[in-house]
């Protein structure tokens, strides 16, 4: 369904922008639809009568500092064109707020299928579910093998001190969300203390996606073992690749994280790789040491809890769009408690408190 008055779009201004800056645009009247999925940046399908495009812009209202960086997304997908990591073609970027009220970028609309959760994955059958599970690990390892200097991303981030800054950054985001109305949670503060107590040595830095998971990839419409696009690069940077693996494992193994990502938990025993198999396949494909992986898995829960807290704050302010936001507050507590429980069982003494 299209709607010329969708929140977050000024189709009149965008028509002029497309005509002037998007190669091949007809200059005709635009129509739009909000693409389903995603509780952070807004993603729209845009049509000009001949061609379909995708437009990405920040969410409405409460926006966490340093998050939702459209220029960052545009830069990384531009750099990865032609690499072993499939991405949509980047077409145009705009930081003039007079055009659409916020920075945005336009990219090609890739044809394929996005599995919105474990339920979709289970419908494929065990053989194809396994293929999906394997290719997701392989693409993540491929991303971490990309030479960021060769693709022009040497200034994309500051890898030195990455983990320490990440813990500090997400702590600040937590403070911001509490100030915006999200209730306090002492377990998040305790996780921050334990993570800060010992920062593990990082492997060589790589491009980090920042939110790599099933529904941030698009699969080939026929071949379940082929990813045609990796999407949603808003948190990408240069840093510690195991931060990506820790978060990926959280989404693959924790039902509350799956509910955050897709709205439902993945059914058990559907043929996908288990945690140990994921770690083994990734380590072989990336040649990266995973000795301190427990730390990264606890950090992943900490980070996701704070991301959800930001979403919950926007919900409390009435600034979210779509369904599925009313239970976010409860998920913050569940993720924090799960992180404490995992940390208490870790072989790393600092995580046990």
The model's pLDDT over 282-313, given as tens digits with 9 standing for 90+, comes to 999 999 999 999 999 999 999 999 989 988 88
Residue 246 and residue 243: Cα distance in Å, rounded?
5
Q: Which residue has the tokens 């129509």?
A: 31
- Mean pLDDT of all residues in 265-274: 91
**What pLDDT is recorded for position 323?**
66
**What pLDDT is recorded for position 1?**
39
pLDDT band for position 261 (cuts 50, 70, 90)? confident
Counting every residue, how long is the chain?
353
pLDDT band for position 38 (cuts 50, 70, 90)? very low
pLDDT value at 334 more than 80: yes
Residue 75 and residue 72: Cα distance in Å, rounded?
5
pLDDT value at 62 more than 50: no
pLDDT band for position 353 (cuts 50, 70, 90)? confident
pLDDT value at 325 more than 90: no
For the CA atoms of the chain, what is the radius of gyration?
20
Tokens of 22: 């998007």
Nearest 10 degrees: Cα torsion 30, 36, 38, 39: 90
Tokens of 104: 């945005």
Residue 84 and residue 151: Cα distance in Å, rounded?
11
Strand partners, 206: 239
Mean pLDDT estimate for the chain: 91
**What pLDDT is recorded for position 37?**
42
Could you say which of 3.40.50.300, 2.60.40.10, 3.90.1200.10, 3.40.1440.10 is the CATH number of the domain covering 118-344? 3.90.1200.10
**Domains of the chain: which residue ranges?**
11-108, 118-344
Residue 232 and residue 68: Cα distance in Å, rounded?
10
Q: Which residue has the tokens 């965008």?
A: 14
**What pLDDT is recorded for position 36?**
59
Nearest to 107 by CA among 211, 21, 12, 220: 21
Domain 11-108 CATH class label: alpha beta
**What pLDDT is recorded for position 279?**
98
């Amino acid at each position: 369904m299209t709607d010329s008055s969708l929140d977050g779009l000024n189709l009149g201004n965008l028509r002029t922008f497309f005509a002037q800056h998007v190669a091949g645009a007809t200059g005709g009247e635009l129509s739009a639809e909000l693409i389903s999925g995603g509780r952070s940046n807004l993603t729209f399908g845009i049509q000009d009568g001949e061609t379909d495009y995708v437009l990405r812009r920040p969410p409405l209202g409460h926006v966490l500092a340093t998050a939702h960086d459209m220029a960052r997304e545009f830069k990384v997908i531009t750099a990865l064109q032609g690499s072993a990591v499939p991405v949509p073609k980047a077409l145009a970027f705009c930081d003039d707020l007079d055009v659409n009220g916020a920075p945005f970028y336009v990219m090609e609309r890739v044809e394929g299928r996005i599995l919105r959760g474990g339920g979709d994955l289970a419908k494929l059958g065990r053989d194809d579910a396994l293929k999906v599970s394997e290719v997701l690990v392989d693409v993540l390892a491929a991303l971490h093998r990309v030479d960021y200097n060769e693709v022009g991303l040497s200034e994309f981030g500051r890898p030195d001190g990455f983990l320490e800054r990440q813990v500090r950054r997400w702590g600040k985001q937590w403070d911001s969300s509490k100030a915006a109305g999200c209730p306090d949670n002492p377990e998040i503060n305790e996780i921050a203390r334990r993570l800060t107590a010992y920062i593990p040595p990082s492997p060589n830095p790589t491009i980090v996606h920042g939110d790599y998971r099933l529904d941030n990839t698009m699969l080939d419409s026929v071949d379940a073992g082929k990813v045609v696009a990796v999407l949603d690069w808003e948190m990408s940077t240069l840093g510690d690749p195991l931060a990506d693996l820790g978060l990926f494992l959280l989404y693959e193994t924790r039902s509350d994280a799956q509910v955050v990502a897709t709205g439902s938990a993945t059914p058990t025993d559907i043929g996908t790789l288990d945690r140990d198999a994921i770690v083994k396949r990734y380590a072989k494909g990336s040649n990266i040491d995973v000795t301190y992986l427990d730390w990264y898995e606890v950090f992943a829960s900490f980070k996701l809890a704070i991301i959800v807290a930001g979403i919950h704050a926007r919900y409390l302010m009435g600034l979210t769009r779509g369904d599925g936001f009313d239970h976010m507050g409860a998920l913050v507590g569940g993720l924090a408690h799960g992180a404490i429980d995992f940390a208490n069982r870790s072989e790393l003494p600092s995580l046990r408190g």
